[in-house]
Amino acid sequence: MHAPWKEVVERERAGILLTWQDEALGLFSEKMALGTPMAEALADAMGRILDDLVSSENEATQEGLERLMRILAVHPFPPSRSLSVFRGLELIVREAGHGLVNDEELRECIDRLTLQAFDRFMEQREKIYRLKVEEERGKMHMLLRGGRS
């Protein structure tokens, strides 16, 4: 049997996804509209996460999380701001349930999801940092090599 919040997510998936996506787009300083490539990428990643929340024992899909965190990690947001989308999801699901969802299981699921997302976010930031270091090393190598000619 599904928990009450899972039934709400199944029944109200389209509205929850649209509201959640709109909230995530609000993180960006420049206005991003639905239908843009960024919005579509967010919707795809968030949709995968929602689908898996309902179907698989509260475990977020690694692919959906990976995609979402890759998008958020390349922007200069602090981790707390990026991960606030998951607190927003909890509130959106509760609102979609019209007061019928007051489930500790939902909070625990969102907490687990947030912690997994934080790990993915930091992995993505580490990749970005390593790429920047390698780029600077390459520049330094070219400068040193050019000085010897």
Residue ranges and CATH numbers for the domains of the chain are 4-148 (1.10.490)
**What average pLDDT does this structure show over 113-117?**
92
Could you give the percent of the chain with pLDDT greater than 70? 90
- The pLDDT, as a whole number, for residue 18 is 93
- The pLDDT, as a whole number, for residue 58 is 44
CA distance 60 to 125: 20
CA distance 127 to 131: 6
Q: What is the pLDDT of residues 37-91, one digit of tens each?
A: 888 999 999 999 998 888 765 444 688 899 999 999 998 888 999 999 999 999 8
- The pLDDT, as a whole number, for residue 2 is 61
pLDDT band at 117 (very low <50, low <70, confident <90, very high): very high
The pTM is what?
0.79
- Mean pLDDT in the chain? 85
CA distance 58 to 54: 7
What is each CA distance from 25 to 55, 71, 138, in whole angstroms? 26, 11, 35
Sign of CA dihedral 80, 113, 3, 44: positive
- The pLDDT, as a whole number, for residue 136 is 85
